[in-house]
Structures are given as structure tokens and as C-alpha cells.
A and B are shown apart, each in its own frame.
Chain A
Amino acid sequence: MLDDFLVRAALAGLGVALASAPLGVFVVWRRMSYFGEATAHAAVLGVALALGFSLPMMPAILVTALVMARTVSALSGRGHAMDTLLGVAAHTALAAGLVAVALLPEVRLDPMGYLFGDILAVTRTDLATIWAGAALVLALVCWRWQALLTATLSPDLAYASGLDPRREDLVLTLALAVVVAVAIKVVGVLLIGAMLVIPAAAARPLVRTPEAMAIGAGLVGALAAIGGLGGAFVLDTPAGPTIVCTSAVIFALTLALGQVLSRRPD
């Protein structure tokens, strides 16, 4: 069954949808979407490092994403305007990564595969990595769920309950780096942010609890992955962008549905 590239692509898409959903809701609630972008863009730098120093690709991406995420959160505590800082970091990481890849003498690499993903070329090894990453992110977020939610609502409430919100920030950062590493093959660095934010935002109008929103985001993500793949096959369009477009269509639909529902009394 896994011999079929479309089946592998579908499973890869589902894995990414599953990994992004529980993290995506926090990205939305904490207004971290730019933070997600910066971390994702740093992955290109990771690719360049892996190729330049003959390192294994996945750990290199993971480590660069992690370093970027930690650097940005450390700097944000020092009074810089967060928005500007993230803008600088996100675009610099992307540009520096592309320059570094171009400077490598022996490598003739088409960066498009990393920028927009190459879901139809997913191998069995990729698939194993994606699902292992998804399982890791799910386990991490489920384990810390109550604490993460408390810290998201108010760091002071977390402190008063004996939790350390900085530890929860670290959990999110770690999960984000893993999602970036597993999603790069499927949607590419430029659209990872979309996979985080759009399914979560699409689930929002239809739910009343945080848990429902996370599950809803997973369902929307899965639907977008399968629908997008189908669409790409039929229309002969690039798969990653088509998946993102599909999730955007679902977002527009739930937004309209939410408008209708909200006219009913609470």
C-alpha cells in the first residue's frame, strides 16, 4: 500500500495536520504566528548547514529551528519591539539560508522543494519521521496541556498555582521546532505557518472549549490535506500550496457558519 506515492503523500499530510493542530491553537491564542514563521524560515539555514557540513538533515533542521526559537524568545524579554524583531529574524533567516545554499560549491540544489515542500516525493523514511514527530508533539502537548493552558491565560495565575510558565514556553518552543522539521517536506518552510494558523482559526467559530478547538483544528487540517492532495491531482497544481488553499476555503466556510450560529442566543 505504501508503494503508492499518493498514499504516502496522504499519510504525510495527515501526520503534519495531526502535529500542527495542538500546537497551532497555542500559536493562535498566544498571537505567535510570526514566531512560527521565524522558526520555520530558520529551517532553510538548517538545510544549508546540513548540506555544507554533510550532517544528517533532520537533526540539523531541528537544531536550527530550536536555536532560532530560543533566540527570539530570549531577545523578546529585553524590551525590543517583538513584532519588528520577529520580522527581522524571520526574513533574515530565510535570506541567509538561501544565500548559504547558493554558496555551497558542490551542491546544485533547487531550493523550491524546501520552500514549498515536495509531498509527492515523500519516502517511507520521511513518513516514519513525520509520524514519529507527530506522536512526539501530541504526547508533549497532551502531557503539559493543563499547564500550557493556564500559562497561556495568565503567567501570574500559573505562578500562583506553583507552575513555572517559562517551562511551558520551552515546551511550546520544542514542539514548534519538531513541527517545522516534520512539515518542511510536506508544505515547505514558507507555508508551515499557514498549517499552524489556518486550521486552528477555522475551528474557532464552531467550538466552546479549548479542547474542542484543538480537535477541530486537527480535523480541518486532515480535511485540507486530503482535499488539497485531491485538488492538486485533478488540477495539476503544486500540492503544498493547494493544501493551504483548501484550508483557507474551509476557514472562510466556518467563518460564515459561525456568523450564522452567533445570531442564536448564547
Chain B
Amino acid sequence: MTQLIEARDLALSLDGREVLRDVSLSIQPGEIVTIVGPNGSGKSSLLRALIGAIRPSRGTLTRKPGLKIGYVPQKLAIDPTLPITVERFLSLPRPVPREVARAALDRAGAEGLAGRQMTRLSGGQFQRVLLARALLVDPDILMLDEATQGLDQPGAAAFYRRIEDIRRTMGCAIVMVSHDLHVVMAASDRVLCVNGHICCEGAPELVASRPEYQALFGTGTQGALALYRHEHSHSHDHSHDHGHDHAHASQDDQTGPRP
């Protein structure tokens, strides 16, 4: 099979309640797919089904044999009684050599954090460490669940630019769940709009103009989309691109320590 994951007529139930039905989708190598939807729409459940954490109640889910998945969860509450350094965390469940761990941290923008305690990281740092861990398996597909929750908009934009960059250099497919519509949609090749089922799907501009989408999110995102496009090209055209990125990185450092 050429596609990495294929779902056919999938239905998902949580505690006997059906949260998602009639989902058919396939993920192609190297594409960025974003799943958007309101709270409780089943979008996180869909992602968790794709990684194998929820067994479908109906339908079939086929993964390419030997598929390597890098997963960045929505939140990860590490109990304060559990001491663990970033470096140790990266070696779970499979031990990785120190250089490999450092390289993944660099790539995820988490350089210099290796010796820190996980529970002492800020929200942005924590998220980038999770990303580094997901990159360690050299994934065919990277899955991110609300990865920018708790980041401000420039921080989120910087995070998505990093994702695009990772796709370009590592060639992996990327599936993101988000309700960060403004920034996320522009970074995607394809958008799935989910609300108990797939309402509509296609290129970001196309989905944003569909009545099903506008019924859920209104029409206001178009302007923000353009805004992102502007910022985006700005940061690349600008000769101080590097410094620019760092400004973003420091901004998402300011989200404060995790609870």
C-alpha cells in the first residue's frame, strides 16, 4: 500500500457512547493533514485511534506494515513524585545514544535542556521535548494532538513553522489535531473538519469556504489566515530570519512552568 494509514467506515466509542462515525480517510507519505473541530467533536479520539490507543467499534483501520509513529500528546501530566530528566525521558521506551538524543533536541528547538527535570520545564519547552522524543524513532508519520495548547499565537506560529521544517527535512507525513484554526490551516496540505463525523475536507482555502465549516467556526478565520501567510513570508524574506525565530522561541518560553 502507498498510503501510511487507511481508515474505512470507522466508528469510535468511548464508555459506550459513540463519538465518531463513518470516518474514511487515508494519509499519504509526506503530507500535512490537520484535523479541526469544536470541543468534543471526536478529533482527539480520531488521532488516538490512529495511534492504536482506541480500538474502533466498527470499520477497519490499516497501517502500513512496520509504520513508525511519532506521537506528541496533548498533555502529559508527570506526577511530581516521578523524577526524570529530559535525557532519560527521551530513552523511553527504547534507549538512544546521547548524541542521537541531543540531535533530536536541537531539531525540535529544545537544545540545552537534556539535563533538566521534566517537571521543571515551561509549557513551550515541555512541548518541544515531546516533539524531540517523537522525532527519535525517525517517524514515517508524526502525530500531534493540540500541540500548541498554552502557547500564545506567535509561539504557536513558530511551532508550526518548525513542523513544516521537519516535514521538509525528514520527509514524514504529519497529522495534527487543533482548534488553533488561524495558524494551523495555512500550514496544512489538507484539512479534515470533524464534528462526530467528517463534515468536509480538502485544501485549507476550500474547507474555510464550505458552509459546513462556517457553520462551526464562522467566516472570521479567512482574515487570520491571510495574516499568517503575511507573517510567514515576512519571516522567510527577512534577512534576520534566525533572530526572528529565536524571538518566537523565547516568547513561548514565557508561558510559565507547568502545573
Chain A interface (Cβ within 8 Å of chain B)?
28-31, 79, 146-147, 149-150, 152-163, 200-201, 204, 207-210, 212-213, 266
Contact = CB atoms under 8 A, between A and B. Distances in A.
Given A79-B15, A204-B81, A266-B120, A156 B93 contact: no
Given A79-B15, A159-B53, A208-B117, A150 B93 contact: yes
Closest 7 A/B residue pairs (Cβ): A160-B71, A159-B53, A160-B51, A150-B93, A29-B82, A146-B93, A150-B92
B116 interface: yes
Interface stretch (B83-91, B101-109, B197-205): B83-91
B52 interface: yes
Interface of B: 15, 48, 51-53, 69-71, 73, 76, 78-79, 81-85, 88-89, 91-95, 116-117, 120, 137, 143
B73 A210 contact: no
A266 B115 CA distance: 9
16 contacts: A79-B15, A149-B92, A149-B93, A153-B92, A154-B73, A156-B48, A156-B51, A157-B71, A158-B93, A160-B52, A160-B71, A200-B81, A208-B117, A209-B85, A210-B82, A210-B84
B52 A209 contact: no
A146 B53 contact: no
Contacts of A147: 93
B207 to A, nearest CB: 27
A49 B242 CA distance: 72
A152 B93 contact: no
A184 B58 CA distance: 47
A150 B91 CA distance: 10
A29 B79 contact: yes
A160 B69 contact: yes
Interface centre among A29, A158, A159, A160 (most CB of B within 10 A): A160
SS class, residues of chain A in contact with chain B: helix
B89 to A, nearest CB: 8
A228 B127 CA distance: 45
A74 B9 CA distance: 30
Nearest to A28: B81
B55 to A, nearest CB: 10
A149 B82 CA distance: 10
Contacts of B71: 156-157, 160
Contacts of A156: 48, 51, 53, 71, 73
A147 B94 CA distance: 9
A154 B82 contact: no
A153 B78 contact: yes
A204 B83 CA distance: 7
B92 A146 contact: yes
A157 B88 contact: no
B108 to A, nearest CB: 16
Contacts of B83: 204, 207-210, 212-213
B68 to A, nearest CB: 9
Given A147-B93, A158-B93, A160-B143, A208 B81 contact: no
Contacts of B88: 209-210
Contacts of B89: 153
A169 to B, nearest CB: 14
Contacts of A163: 93
Nearest to B120: A266
Nearest to A29: B82
Nearest to A212: B83
Contacts of A150: 92-93
A150 B78 CA distance: 11
A141 to B, nearest CB: 15
A266 B91 CA distance: 21
Nearest to A200: B81
Contacts of B73: 154, 156-157
Nearest to A164: B52
